[in-house]
Chains A and B, each alone.
Chain A
Amino acid sequence: MASLKALKLRIGSVKSTQKITKAMKMVAAAKLRRAQEAAEAGRPYAERLAEVMSSLAGKVTVGPQSPRLLAGTGEDRVHLLVVATSERGLAGAFNTNIVRAARKKAEELVAQGKQVKFYLIGKKGRAVIQRIFPGKIVHQVDQSHIKNVSFGDALEVAQDITRRFEAGEFDVAHLFYAKFQSALVQIPTEQQIIPVSIPTAGSVAPAAGTAAAVEYEPGEEEILAALLPRNIAVQLFRAMLENAASEQGSRMTAMDNATRNAGDMINRLTIQYNRTRQAAITTELVEIISGAEAL
């Protein structure tokens, strides 16, 4: 049985751990609200852009001359998996879930005889991916210095990816991130970003009907060419915002659980401490009494 002194120390250490997890939970809760607001504020733009994209894409026939971001390279050999994770750990299963989704996809692709490459945003997925697919990581974006993701950050990443695409480094790009649903639920999501998957025409049918007489300035092709790279940036930006909200949500839940566990542990240890203390007192008393009787 552990000594009284050891138990006391142990309780103290669990208590200070609990203080830390509790503080982390509060911080995550505060950050979550901000991240959620940012994610919501970004929605109108993405929605409008998707509308415009689909009404434009209906106009332009995909042919060999159309932009490669839309039509693809005509091949399907090398896949780039863009995996967005967080920069910090202690967020429950957040990073694990995203990496698992990416890994599953990668294994499927490899089984089909395709080549995979990884492009990481955030450092937390690196260790696992490096171990399972050694040497497949082409680039890692460091976001540790960024506090709140801005569109400029997403734009930089998008430009880098587009440049690699144009240099022929890959044919298809997928994006992995966690979609934020609530503080308890974050859904690991996969999305194809290159070639652009056009939203189905069904959802925008009414807009398409009136768009017949739309005048384009300069031309449809030019607008589309300007739009496609921007679309990638917007998709990335949205993924980053969703990810930020998901990360905080996940951390909040994880830290809440940790705080509760620490509480349970303190209770158990306190009971054990009290029992040990009583046992020690009893033993002392017995010793004194039997000593007195012996006289």
Chain B
Amino acid sequence: MAELHFELVTPERLIRSEDVYMVVVPGTEGDFGVLAGHAPLMSVIRNGELAIYSSPTNVTARIHVEGGFAEVNERGLTVLAERATEAA
């Protein structure tokens, strides 16, 4: 199974840049999961929780994000958020 390259960036720093199985992003029109090979997409995100999956059943991290947008292209998923706080 190909891995999805995921980057989470805030204006202050690059928070994450790693290969993961899946990321569930809180879009303004509903949450959506991004796996490797996802079609190009751009979405505004709402304030909410972003979940990172290392395998189909295993959530490795949940990050609270505020204001921003997500972009999926052939290189992977990039989430630009104004604020991001990692939930324990």
Measuring CB to CB, which residues of chain A are less than 8 angstroms from any residue of chain B?
38, 41-42, 44-46, 48-49, 52, 56, 150-151, 154-155, 207, 210-211, 213-218, 222-223, 226-227, 230, 233-234, 237
Contacts and interface: CB of A to CB of B under 8 A. Distances in A.
A211 B73 contact: yes
A42 B11 contact: yes
Nearest to B39: A215
B82 A52 contact: no
Contacts of B13: 41-42
B42 A223 contact: yes
A206 B69 CA distance: 21
B47 interface: no
Nearest to B73: A210
13 contacts: A38-B12, A41-B14, A42-B13, A44-B14, A52-B42, A151-B83, A155-B82, A213-B39, A213-B40, A215-B39, A217-B42, A217-B43, A227-B69
Contact of A52 (B27, B39, B69): B69
Most buried by A among B39, B42, B73, B82: B42
B41 A45 contact: no
Contacts of B27: 217
Q: Is the interface of B mostly helix, strand, loop or mixed?
A: strand
B65 to A, nearest CB: 13
A191 B28 CA distance: 32
B interface, size bucket:
20 to 34
B44 A226 contact: yes
A277 B14 CA distance: 64
A286 B11 CA distance: 77
A259 to B, nearest CB: 34
B42 A230 contact: no
Given A214-B40, A218-B28, A223 B69 contact: yes
A214 B42 contact: yes
Contact of A215 (B14, B41, B68): B41
A45 B11 contact: yes
B78 interface: yes
Interface in B6-37: 7, 9-14, 27-29
A222 B40 CA distance: 18
Given A151-B10, A217-B27, A226 B40 contact: no
Given A41-B12, A151-B10, A222 B73 contact: no
A234 B28 CA distance: 21
B86 interface: no
Contacts of A237: 11
Contacts of B42: 52, 56, 214-217, 223
A7 B69 CA distance: 67
A151 B67 CA distance: 12
Contacts of B9: 44-45, 48
Given A42-B12, A217-B29, 8 more contacts: A41-B12, A45-B9, A56-B42, A213-B40, A214-B42, A215-B42, A217-B41, A223-B44
